[in-house]
Every structure is written in structure tokens, then in C-alpha cells.
A and B are shown apart, each in its own frame.
Chain A
Amino acid sequence: MLWLVLFFLIPLVTMLSLSIQTCNSFTFACKLTWHFAEFPNVISQYAQTYVRSFVYAGIATIGALLVAFPVTYWIAFRAKRKNFFLLMLLVPFFVSFVIRTTAWYTLLADNGAILTALKNAHIVPESFHVLATPLAVISGLAYNYLPFTALPLYVALERIDRRVLEASGDLYSTRRATFARVVLPLSVPGIFAAFLLTFVPAAGDYVNAQILGGTNTVMIGSVIQKKFLEAGDYPGASALSTVFLVLMLLGIALYAKFLGSRTIEEYV
């Protein structure tokens, strides 16, 4: 309880309070003025950025699921040394987030190793580039949050009772039908948790868009970060964060309603 008050309630109330304060950017005096105008301001100014953040995060999450599912399925059902392969999957993520993203930046540079080779082989045109495009940012998100997708999936798949699969086989089900009608439905809670755990941080991410992105790929996390740290506009940044939080909660509520609240209780 105390923990919740200290690390959740107080920061939250501070943020809500800041978003309706007026700060003097010369003296830094902030006064509670119940000034709600910041909300329509940020919504009209950054509506496009919000939409973009959710779209990017959504595509990145689906991408990460498509990559993570076969891998974790293979580890859970087929691999002999599960722990070893699981470790192999996670080892790259022991390196700092920013360093990994910067590494992609170097690899994918216009004159970097990969694109130079493709251009020399005339597979892509001379003016082709990956950085500063939505593709770069979305791929970066999918890559960076992959462990958050893979681990819940693995846990769900690993938990499936093998006897159920045998029973399915005994009832003359093909492998494909077993997968579609037994494995997949039983892994839904894992997919649900994976989606949530990947989507939420990806939507608020401020590193990938900054490093891999360009002029039209700015995500809301970068805007909030810049407003807080570089412009020192606390009310604006707090209003942006509040709107983001509300949108996210609404989204999650709808999502949970759609997939059933019992699964949330079980897996989140």
C-alpha cells in the first residue's frame, strides 16, 4: 500500500497537477491555475503524432509476434536444450538498448555495409535508403521489444500439457489441425500478454524514432522527452503524458473487453 502511494499515486498526482499549472519560463514559478487549455492545445497540435505512435507500435507488435511465435514454438516443443536456446534468444538484449539501436543505425546507414552491397549488386536503386523512414523505426521497435514478446509466449506454450496434443493425435487430427485447434487457442493468453507487454512500451518509446527516424516519423515519447528536458515546458509535457495515459488505458480496456477480462487476471 505504502509502495503504491509512494511510487504510483504521488507521481501520478504530481503529473496531473502539473498539467493544469501555469509555469513562468523565466522564474520557474509554477502555480495551480486550473488551466485546462493545455489539453486541447496538445491534442490539436499532436493528434497526428499520437496516431502515428499507436500505428507504429501496433505494426511493430504484430511483426514481433510473427517473428517470436515460430521461434518460441520451436524452443518449447522441438528443441532439446530449451534453456540454451532461450538464453541465445535473450543474450543480445543484455547489451544496452541505445547501443543496439545505434548499431542498427551504423549497419543501415546509406553507405553502410548492407546497403552498399545491395546497391553494388543493383538489387536496390542508388537513392534507396532505410534510415529516416517509417520502416526503420517500426523495425527498430519490433527488434528492441522482442524479448517482451517472446517470453510470455514461451511461458504460455511451455505450459501446454503435452498429453492434450497426444490426445488430439489419437483422435486422428493432423499436425496442422492440432496446431490450429489446440496449440493456438491454448496460447492465446500468451499472445494477449505478449501484445500488451510489447505494445505499451513501444508506443511510448523515444529512442528508436530519435536514432533511426527522420522528419515525419516523430513519436509521442520523443515529443514528451523534448518538452520536459529541452524546452522545460512542464505543463505541456504533463498534458501530453496525461492524454497518452488516458488513450492507452482506454485502448487496453477495449482490448481486454474484446479478449475477456479473465485472461488479464490470469496473465498480467
Chain B
Amino acid sequence: MTDQQPIDPALWRGLTQSRTSRRRFLQAAGAGAGALSLSSILAACGTSGVTNSAAENGVGTPTWWSQQPETKTLNYANWPYYIDTSHGKHPSIEQFTQQTGIQVDYTEPINDNTSFFTKIRPTLQDGKYVGYDVIVLTNSDPPLSQMINAGWAVPLDPSRMTNFKQYASPLVTDPSWDPGNKYTMAWQSGYTCIGYNTKYITEDITSIQSLFDPKYQGKIGMMGISTELGSAGLLAIGVDPAASTPDDWSKAADKLNAQKPLVRSYYDQDYIKALKNEDIWISMVWSGDVFQAATYQGYDTLKIVIPDEGSMFWTDNQLIPVGVENPVAAMTFMDYVYDPQVQALIEDYNAYVCPVPAAKDIIAKDLKDPTVANSPTVFPDAAMVSRSKPYYQFQTADQLDQWNNTFEPIYTG
């Protein structure tokens, strides 16, 4: 996997901002002078892109951190079904409030990286508070690196990362998408792998080619998400997605187009419902969803497999958006979840890939849940790690556009 090229924020801003804002000023002046030609009206709708980066305002420097007051509230935005829940409450959060006196408003507004980012982007551009002190974004989709590149992620305070430094798994420390954990700490990781129903599929599934098997025509589910679908296509033609080229992309798209008559539907989150309803028998899935369904919800014929070709391995990352109002509380909570006792509570509920290996013994002994503790998709062993594939990292807007233009028409056509 290639690393993100760090771009000097000042250069970035110079390249993107000054010209457009001057343009906008002239347009506004022109419009004010009464030159209301159609062209100028249309042009005034242009948007200037990246503004109000953290570096521009000196946010996230040691001096800035030392000036931040310790507030007693925290607004946290996460994905659904991602934290321990018991009778509508979250024990790990209640414990946090008891220990620190910080009231946490934990909400679950994120269902999709891009659409969530699209919603908060105008506020970030204005340099205002987006309403959340911590948000969680996945490394597989562009918004995470877009946030970092635009300078909209607040650099973390290394002095408030004690649990992280002590307990974080090597899978999530110093990751390629955020060298040195300058901006992010992982929430959970997971696999995009294969899930199937053993009630209908009796053979042992070991290869991603099973998703392309005509035997299962009309009972196959794929994901209608361009990074996921594209990566699955690349794995199926034997190409490592992180090292792929646009040529490989079009070959993968051919493979996926040929598969289309076999596919029941291209799903987002709702694949899990189709799998539970038995509308589909085999599908691209996110590991934790199927694990939760099989272990806790009685769908015990559902099974997950990491195929021989490998599975895409992603990580959801906690980060602090610019305009933050409670940065100290945010840091405190982000680090708090790396306490193995706390992580055990969270992990035992969501069953994704745990960022704290030390939680394993606590889940096995104190929480007495060996199914989770011994699962290789929760605490991956060396063999599992070797089959984990990283995503392609987009270096330029052109690459991203080309990827989307290659894979989007498959599920929107």
C-alpha cells in the first residue's frame, strides 16, 4: 500500500483557495453593480472548496491544546449498533460519566461515509461547529483522507493518548492512512467478506468465486458501494486492490458486469435483512453484522468466511472535526475506549475486529463469552492478518473519479 503524500496545508490552500475567493468577490461586486447577466448568476454558484483548515487557525497545536478548557459535555457521532447496549443504555458510557463527570450525547447518525461527510461539509467550510466533537469515518472511503488533507481533522493531543499507546493493537497503530496517528484513533476494524446461509449452501465456501457461481443465480447479494464492489471485483480477478491500476479496474468491472444476471440486488446496509429473510443465500457482508446475527439473534445458519483470495480489511476511525467545542472531553473519551475493561464491554456487543488485544482475556474470563473471545474475526491470528487486504488509496481527484466512473454504472445502470 502506498502512503498518502502529505501536502503542506499552506500550499494546498494557495492552490485551491485564493483564486476562487477573489473570483467570488469580483462576481459579487459585479452582481452588486447590477451586471446581472445570466452568466454571472450562474457563475456565482461556484463553491470555493477547502477553507478554514485546522492549520490555518492554529488549531491542534500544543499551545492550542494547553488553552482548551475541560468542558463537561461531549457530542459523539457513530455508526448504528456499534456500542454496548443494554435496555436502551450504554454501560461503558455510564461508567465514563461516573468517572469523569462528562455527560455524553452519543448518537448514531452515520450510515454511510460520503453522505454523512456531504452533510457536514458546508459547516466545516464555514469553520463552524458541526454539532459533534468526535465523528467516526472509515479508511476505505474517500471522506477520511479528504478530511485530513483539507485540514478539517484536528491534530490529536499525544499527551492524552496513554491507554492508546499502551494497549492499541499493531493493526491500528501508525496506519498507512494516518501515519503516527496524528489525527485518528481507531474505533473498530472489520472485514468485508463472504456470508452465507448453510441451510441452502451445503458445500464449504472457500473462494470469492462462489459469489460468481451460476448455481446460486438470483440468490447472490453484492454491495452497491463503489469502493466495496470494485475491491471485490479486483480480488475476484486475482489483483491486489491496493496495487491495482486503471486497467485492472476495467477488467474487474467486466467481471462484475458478467456477474450481474446472477445477482439479486446491489445492497447498502440492507443486505443483512435480505440474508436474514433468506432472499439471498450468499453475499458480500461486513463481518460483525453476520457475527451478531448468528450469535445473538438466532440466525445460527449464517456463517462468515474469509476466502482464500483474502478479504478487504477496513478500520473505522475516531477523529475530531474542526470547530470542535469540547476537544478535551473528546480526547478523554477516545482514549478511554482503549482501556481493556471498557473495550471488552464494547467488543462483546459489536464483535468486529478489536483494536485492543488485551480485551480478549477479559471477554473470555470476566464476561464469559468464549464465542467472541475465540473468534478469529474478532481477534485475528497471524493467518487471518495475512489474508487482510488494504484498500486502494486515492492520490488524486482524477483517480477517484475514474474509479467511480468504472464501478458506479454497474449498480446504478
Residues of A within 8 A of B (CB): 13-14, 16-18, 20-21, 24-32, 45-46, 48-49, 106, 109-112, 127, 129, 131-132, 211, 213-216, 218, 222-223, 226-233
Closest chain B residue to A32, Cβ basis: B43
29 contacts between A and B (CB under 8 A): A17-B41, A21-B45, A24-B49, A25-B397, A26-B397, A27-B50, A27-B397, A28-B121, A29-B16, A29-B46, A30-B46, A30-B47, A32-B43, A46-B412, A48-B413, A109-B279, A110-B277, A112-B277, A129-B218, A129-B279, A215-B260, A216-B260, A223-B412, A226-B412, A227-B412, A228-B118, A229-B114, A230-B115, A231-B404
Q: Given A109-B277, A112-B277, A231–B263 Cβ distance below 8 Å?
A: no
The interface bits of chain B over 14-48 (1 if a CB of A lies within 8 angstroms of the residue's CB, else 0) are 00110010000000000000000000011101111
User: Quick check: which of B75-83, B142-150, B288-296, B300-308 contacts chain A, the rest being far away?
Assistant: B142-150
Chain B neighbourhood of A211, CB < 8 A: 270
| Interface pair A31/B46, CB less than 8 Å apart | yes
Closest chain B residue to A218, Cβ basis: B412
Q: Given A21-B45, A32-B45, A213–B401 Cβ distance below 8 Å?
A: no
Chain B neighbourhood of A106, CB < 8 A: 277
Query: How many residues from B make CB contacts under 8 Å with A?
Result: 49
Q: Given A26-B149, A110-B279, A230-B112, A46–B413 Cβ distance below 8 Å?
A: yes
User: Using a Cβ cutoff of 8 Å, how many contacts connect chains A and B?
Assistant: 126
| Interface pair A25/B16, CB less than 8 Å apart | no
| B31 CB to nearest A CB, Å | 13
Closest chain B residue to A29, Cβ basis: B49
Chain A neighbourhood of B248, CB < 8 A: none
Chain B neighbourhood of A13, CB < 8 A: 41-42, 45
Q: Given A45-B413, A231-B404, A232-B118, A29–B20 Cβ distance below 8 Å?
A: yes
Extra pairs beyond A213-B265, A231-B404 (5, CB < 8 Å): A109-B277, A111-B279, A112-B277, A229-B115, A231-B408
Contact residue among A30, A46, A215 (Cβ-Cβ distance under 8 Å from B263): A215
| Interface pair A18/B45, CB less than 8 Å apart | yes
Residues of B within 8 A of A (CB): 12, 16-17, 20, 41-43, 45-50, 112, 114-115, 117-118, 121, 125, 142, 146, 149-150, 218, 224-226, 260-261, 263-266, 270, 277-279, 394, 396-397, 400-401, 404, 408-409, 411-413
